[in-house]
Structure 1
Amino acid sequence: MLQIDTWKRVLIWLVCLAGLAMALPNAFYTRVEQSNDAVSAIELGGATSELTQQAGQWPSWMPSSLVNLGLDLRGGAHLLAEVQVDDVYASRMEAMWPEVRDALRPERGTVGSIRKQPSEADEIRIKITKPEGMSRALEVVRGLARPIQSLSGVGSYDIEVRSEGSIIVVQLSEAEKLASDDRTVRQALEIVRRRIDEVGTREPTIQRQGADRILIQVPGIGSASELKEIIGTTAQLSFNPVVSRGADEDAAAGVGNKVIPSLDDEGIFYTVEAAPVVTGEELVDAQPAFDQNGRPAVNFRFNTSGARKFGDYTLENIGSPFAIVLDDEVVSAPVIQSHIPGGSGIITGNFTVEESTNLAVLLRAGALPAGLNFLEERTIGPELGQDSIDAGKVATIIAFAAVLVFMALSYGLFGLFANVALILNVALIFGLLSVIGATLTLPGIAGIVLTVGMAVDANVLIFERIREELKTAKGPSRAIELGYEKALSAILDANITTFITAVILFAMGSGPVRGFAITLGLGILTSVFTAIFVTRLMIVIWFERRRPKTIEV
């Protein structure tokens, strides 16, 4: 006999009501979005009459989670950036020179004096005055090689060392270059994500494309140029010893040094040691602040390793100038007045409050390991997104109406039960999308339209099985029960295979494909739930009240 326990009935209706409640804010999208933004602004900066009024547009006791609209629906900025992985080779070699120099110094009796020679970006050339000690020099420098920590570089080392007459040549190995390229792109990807998250934008799409490219799509942002300002600056901070200061840009820097301009003093150039004492990678915090004269500045703090190096250098070089270099420009070059043991300091310059805040964000998020070359940039207007939404609404309404009419004509009263379940199904999809904070894209709308078409498949299987059982002269109660039992395996098989496809699309696909996979996967879950539980519950309630002798499906 048809029977569903009371607790199961209550649970099914509670799930449906919860889905409807979570989907409801999307019917008042603009009002709820303004209310949510006002609540967030009040929490950050305090309440004003205008913000309080906006926050009151939606009741605080009601669910307020919304489906996030993707770039193609909301408008925003699209960038395709290429990571300049070659930039890392030069900085890697610059950082390695002090290590090579310190390793060879104890061997001066064997190799003679050592001098760094002009060289390519990805190598170091060192001349020794006693060529007869070359074998010992090569042995010492090769001892600095480290195994490559990657699957593709197992058994390889990061540097290759060879001799050319009295010159030692240190180069990055090809395996290390490949590993370095991969690390650089991964690091750039993470830092871009952190920088965008710092700004508080909604649901950005940030993905790696190919070997050295990053796709960045941020809905709701004003323009591509605005997005480039957030992520395009490398913000590479370093602290370098100052060799000299002057007005000649073409002054001979000397081996191991470089000439860079001053950020604030036009026409002034500093000659600094290329190898920094501390880099921005060792920063753990940076916050906008004001200096002793009330001008905008940035406070910074190093980690333990950076604090120790910073403290040791300031202790040994009291009275010497020390350059704070940001993206190859000297922000300031204060004279070290005393030992600074705490690992913290302040960056001053001719900043505005906005510039100091942005600089703090960039430093806090981390320095990009290499520059970005923007190959493609587009600003997508919201009116295009509105056109997509309108087209999606039309397609959904047409599909919805066609399915409702078909089910009503094909299966009569049972078709009407399936139609009610279909409406609940769509509401449950939007409720789940809102709860998990998913982003709805144009392919996502296509997934919903497809789900509407597929949602009745399970009901069709069930109703056809009930028809077959009725032909065997079984009673209506037994026919309904057997129809659900015998159709269950086919329903599960069909939907599980489709769900596996959706999971693969989500795991392997990019942003738009993922949007389609999410709505398709959630639609499968909700359609199975509504077909197996909701439709059956409505049929059971109807049957208990009417007790028909015969039924027509």
Structure 2
Amino acid sequence: MLNKYPLWKTLMVALVIAVCALYASPNLYGEDHAVQISAGRNAQIDEPLLNQVKAELEQSGITFKSIALEGEQILVRLNDGETQLKIKEQLEKSLGKDYVVALNLASATPDWLESLGASPMKLGLDLRGGVHFLMEVDMNAAITRAKEQMVDDFRTSLREEKLRYRRVDEAANGVDIQFRDQETLDKAQTFLSTNNRDLLFSDKGDMVLSATLSEQRLKDIREYALKQNITIMRNRVNQLGVAEPVIQRQGADRIVVQLPGIQDTARAKEILNATATLQFRMVDLDHDVRDAVDGRVPPGSQLLMDRRGQPQLLENRIMLTGDHIVDASSSFDEYGRPQVNIKLDSEGGNKMSQGTKDNIGKPMATVFIEYKPSAEKDKDGKTVFEKHEEVINVATIQARLGRDFRITGIDSPSEAQNLSLLLRAGALVAPIQIVEERTVGPSLGQENIDLGMQAIFWGLAVVLIFMVIYYQKFGMVANLALLANLVMIVGVMSMIPGATLTLPGMAGIVLTVGMAVDANVLIFERIREEIRDGRSPQQAIHHGYDSALSTIADANITTLIAALILFAVGTGPVKGFSITLAIGIITSMFTAIIGTRAVVNAVWGGKRLEKLSI
């Protein structure tokens, strides 16, 4: 019998559309204005704090939708933006500097939908609002850090080769090493130049060997600093839950960062500017710390303060840096005290093993390092970053350490969690400063959404009216397919983790509306031709769909190839346009060919027909 689908195929079409409709439905619920409270280094988020915030808001007579402890933060959902600002100011005053109070937007999707993995479509910066930063990497700091590493490497390698030296210091373009005699200098030059072919070695006189960074090495340092900063910032932002950030390179030393949905620029800066890392160094037991406090710091040592304000005299030699940390997690020790579990890469494990094998029973310090912008400017007008060092832990080495060990002596669980997050995401290779900052407000984003929805609505309305007038009942079938196509596009966009809808993406949806109905026009016109050629209505429907299929496939496949090329070579808005276009092409072929055929077969298939309403 012509034009009859088996039941399984009809149910398959209905199931696909129903699933897409289910996953598109969270977009109907929108987002709530919210205030997010997270802990600083010396605070923690817990149930008593939640009750304190709730009581304070109720006492002030402020109406809120809900307040809940979500993970490591408290989220207060509100009815409007004005209340959101009012609560933020009030909580900042009452909670103090130990807590970070930030504005945010929280999804209002019901819990039962979230339990199915359904979530709203991710919106780009131009639709949702957020912050845009243009950030510049401090390349001078990257080069200084490379020279510091050279100093440490030279000291270690010369000591292992038993080549005695007087001092190893940073110089303008590299590192200077002073020796006691010419013979040792010559041996050291031969040894170091063999193992460091990207450095230029020369005898400066006065028993000083100069190691100068070559132009290629300087270029490599800058390139590495930029790429690593991009990678680390992306990891850090992802772990802190910012949805679909855009982090990409611009020029030789700049990075573009866009964070959709972030309303609080202070919170965004805190996320991006954190430059925390660790150093592991031995405590200097050969000298008296009281002499160092009085200003007599011995050569080869450094005086630092711990968190309780107690002085600690440490060796300058760095046993290990945070660059070798591949994983970090917070937990509790056998006494219920917070700790951070560290996992190193193979090179770091070897360094830690070599550094601790001869120091069992001696104290080792964990130094926490941050770079913070100061009020000073350099000669180029760029912000000068200050280096802050603090001893967070001094522990006696009980046994030879390897790739896995732990840091104890941390004040609170939240501090352990924050430290592990920063270490897990990585430390920025070089400090960064914001040279341009723009905030796209939610109101502007909503205006873009409204204009885009108007374009989709009017384009859809004109097409629906035309199809009903021109193709009558078959036009109504095409309109059903067109509406189902829009639902499927939204559903698929909501299901794909990496898909983000931007303003050009909405243009892609508008374009898809026209392209989706094009396939039905080809099919319906072919059915009309078959009827004019004398075929029966059932034969006309059968041949109309079969004959138009190759033409529809050719037209859509070539457009799909163009969309894939745009996705491969484009960035930002171009990529967003290509994603919606590609999804729209695939869903429109499904609804126009399989979907409409299922409806036509259900209504007209297997019946004796004298004529068709087409």
Q: Which bin holds the TM-score, normalised by the shorter protein?
A: 0.7 to 0.9
Match of 2:390 in 1: 331
1:388-410 deviation digits (Å, cap 9, x = unpaired)? 22222211111110111122223
Q: Equivalences for 1:254-269 in 2 at 5 Å?
A: 262=305
Match of 1:12 in 2: 13
Match of 1:231 in 2: 272
Contact map agreement 2:392 2:409 (CA 8 A) in 1:
no
Contact map agreement 1:297 1:356 (CA 8 A) in 2:
yes
Greater shift in the superposed pair: 522-531 or 163-172: 163-172
Flag structure 1 segments of 5+ consecutive residues without an equivalent: 146-156
Query: Does residue 395 of structure 1 match 2:459?
Result: no
Match of 2:445 in 1: 385
Match of 1:94 in 2: 148
Greater shift in the superposed pair: 71-80 or 442-451: 71-80
Match of 1:279 in 2: 321
Match of 1:538 in 2: 599
- What TM-score comes out, normalization by structure 1 length? 0.80
CA 1:409 to 1:71, structure 2 compared with 1: closer, same or farther past 3 Å?
A: same
Match of 2:127 in 1: 73
CA distance in 2, matches of 1:55, 1:98: 54
By how many angstroms is 1:233 displaced?
A: 1.3
By how many angstroms is 1:515 displaced?
A: 2.1
CA distance in 2, matches of 1:399, 1:76: 29
By how many angstroms is 1:227 displaced?
A: 1.1
By how many angstroms is 1:411 displaced?
A: 2.3
- Letter of the 1:277 counterpart: M
**RMSD, aligned CA:** 4.2
Q: Equivalences for 1:114-125 in 2 at 5 Å?
A: 114-116=165-167, 118-120=169-171, 122-125=173-176
- What TM-score comes out, normalization by structure 2 length? 0.73
Match of 2:228 in 1: 187
- Letter of the 1:389 counterpart: I
Contact map agreement 2:29 2:109 (CA 8 A) in 1:
no
Q: Equivalences for 1:26-425 in 2 at 5 Å?
A: 26-30=27-31, 44=71, 58=112, 64-104=118-158, 113-116=164-167, 118-120=169-171, 122-131=173-182, 136-145=187-196, 157-165=197-205, 166-241=207-282, 262=305, 274-283=316-325, 284-287=327-330, 299-303=340-344, 306=348, 309-310=351-352, 312-313=355-356, 316=359, 322=365, 324-327=367-370, 328-332=387-391, 337=396, 339=398, 341-342=400-401, 344-346=405-407, 348=409, 357-425=417-485
Match of 1:491 in 2: 552
By how many angstroms is 1:495 displaced?
A: 1.2
CA 1:253 to 1:285, structure 2 compared with 1: closer, same or farther past 3 Å?
A: same
By how many angstroms is 1:42 displaced?
A: 7.7
- SS of the aligned residue for 2:605 comes to helix
CA distance in 1, matches of 2:74, 2:389: 41
By how many angstroms is 1:432 displaced?
A: 0.9
Contact map agreement 1:117 1:255 (CA 8 A) in 2:
no
- SS of the aligned residue for 2:209 comes to strand
Greater shift in the superposed pair: 158-167 or 404-413: 158-167
Contact map agreement 2:304 2:391 (CA 8 A) in 1:
no
CA distance in 2, matches of 1:370, 1:329: 14
Contact map agreement 1:89 1:122 (CA 8 A) in 2:
no
1:477-496 deviation digits (Å, cap 9, x = unpaired)? 33333333332222222211
Contact map agreement 2:563 2:581 (CA 8 A) in 1:
yes
By how many angstroms is 1:58 displaced?
A: 4.8
Contact map agreement 1:39 1:55 (CA 8 A) in 2:
no
Flag structure 2 segments of 5+ consecutive residues without an equivalent: 36-64, 78-107, 371-386
CA distance in 1, matches of 2:271, 2:477: 53
CA distance in 2, matches of 1:57, 1:104: 63
CA distance in 1, matches of 2:582, 2:26: 22
CA 1:122 to 1:276, structure 2 compared with 1: closer, same or farther past 3 Å?
A: farther
Contact map agreement 1:272 1:323 (CA 8 A) in 2:
no
CA distance in 2, matches of 1:187, 1:250: 41
- SS of the aligned residue for 2:437 comes to strand
1:175-207 deviation digits (Å, cap 9, x = unpaired)? 344344333333222221222222223222233
Contact map agreement 2:247 2:256 (CA 8 A) in 1:
yes
Contact map agreement 1:116 1:255 (CA 8 A) in 2:
no
By how many angstroms is 1:385 displaced?
A: 1.8
CA 1:130 to 1:466, structure 2 compared with 1: closer, same or farther past 3 Å?
A: same
CA distance in 1, matches of 2:159, 2:25: 73
1:84-139 deviation digits (Å, cap 9, x = unpaired)? 3443333233223344345445877xxx8534465436511223444466654332
Contact map agreement 1:19 1:427 (CA 8 A) in 2:
yes
Match of 2:22 in 1: 21
- SS of the aligned residue for 2:195 comes to coil
- How many pairs does the alignment contain? 526
Match of 2:532 in 1: 471
CA 1:13 to 1:337, structure 2 compared with 1: closer, same or farther past 3 Å?
A: closer
1:318-350 deviation digits (Å, cap 9, x = unpaired)? 66674624124332276665545456454657x
- Letter of the 2:598 counterpart: L
Match of 2:38 in 1: none
Contact map agreement 2:304 2:314 (CA 8 A) in 1:
no
- SS of the aligned residue for 1:285 comes to strand
CA 1:176 to 1:40, structure 2 compared with 1: closer, same or farther past 3 Å?
A: farther
- Letter of the 1:67 counterpart: M
Contact map agreement 1:94 1:275 (CA 8 A) in 2:
no
By how many angstroms is 1:229 displaced?
A: 0.7
Contact map agreement 2:3 2:605 (CA 8 A) in 1:
no
- SS of the aligned residue for 1:15 comes to helix
By how many angstroms is 1:530 displaced?
A: 1.1
CA distance in 1, matches of 2:525, 2:606: 23
Contact map agreement 1:291 1:348 (CA 8 A) in 2:
no
**Which structure carries more helix by proportion?**
1
Q: Equivalences for 1:427-506 in 2 at 5 Å?
A: 427-437=487-497, 438-506=499-567
CA distance in 2, matches of 1:250, 1:159: 40
